[in-house]
Structure 1
Amino acid sequence: MSDSSSIVLVLTTVQSEQDAKRLADDLVSQSLAACVQIDGPIKSHYRWAGRIEENQEFRLMIKTAITTWPKVKVRLLKEHPYDEPEIIMIPIAEASDGYRKWIIEQTN
């Protein structure tokens, strides 16, 4: 599959639903994402600054084109409320042709 038709899933988490909605609206309005789904609240357990933490978070599942991914990453780093945000990109190997085409059209 060529880069021009490849799509990816980008994951990030934030502490508030308000921040999740703000990021989702920003990415879609800038045509950086075709769709952003918000899950939550979820519980995250992690080590930060030498301490075990447990917090409520909201997960964003961002659907975009591989060619748009670098811009998504830059935008998330700029707009994300965390000092060191989780930003994970997962290539999507298979998707329905219509859905793949729709994501590409919305983000290129």
Structure 2
Amino acid sequence: MALIFIDVWVNCPDRETAEKIADACIGEKVAACANVFAPIASRYRWKGAVETAEEVPLLLKTRAEHFDAVCAVVRPLHPFEVPSITATEICNIDQPYADWLRKETREPA
């Protein structure tokens, strides 16, 4: 069976949080790579009110079967009550890059 890879997006309140989560996910080998983006302006509904905030997007690259493990690493390190953790399947991937992602992430338990 072919491996499925995903991009996991996590919006963080600041760069420090994004880097801490990135380091933990790479250290635990539940992600092979992390990209910390420049801050963005976010608008969202929270507890009945429209809020605005500056957030730092974090992109993690990993195997689909590691999504739950990524969530388990992110939640305790993230200060939000309900952090945004979403994944998108990578539909097309260059084989050498896929091989690298597989090699740099642990085998599922």
The TM-score normalised by the length of structure 2 is 0.91
Q: Deviations over 1:19-38 (max 9, x none)?
A: 11111111111111100101
Unaligned runs of 5+ residues in structure 2 are none
Equivalence for 2:99:
101
How far 1:77 moved relative to its partner? 2.1
Output the CA distance in 2 between the equivalents of 1:75 and 1:52.
Answer: 28
| Count of residues paired in the alignment | 106
Equivalence for 2:67:
69
Percent identity among equivalent residues?
A: 27
Unaligned runs of 5+ residues in structure 1 are none
How far 1:75 moved relative to its partner? 1.5
Equivalence for 1:35:
33
Q: Secondary structure at the match of 1:23?
A: helix
> Where has structure 1 moved over 6 Å in runs of 4 or more?
none
Equivalence for 1:88:
86
Are the aligned partners of 2:20 and 2:77 in contact in 1 as well (CA < 8 Å)?
Answer: no
Q: Deviations over 1:26-69 (max 9, x none)?
A: 11111111001011210001111111111100000000011222
CA-atom RMSD in angstroms = 1.2
2:76 to 78, 82, 94: 78
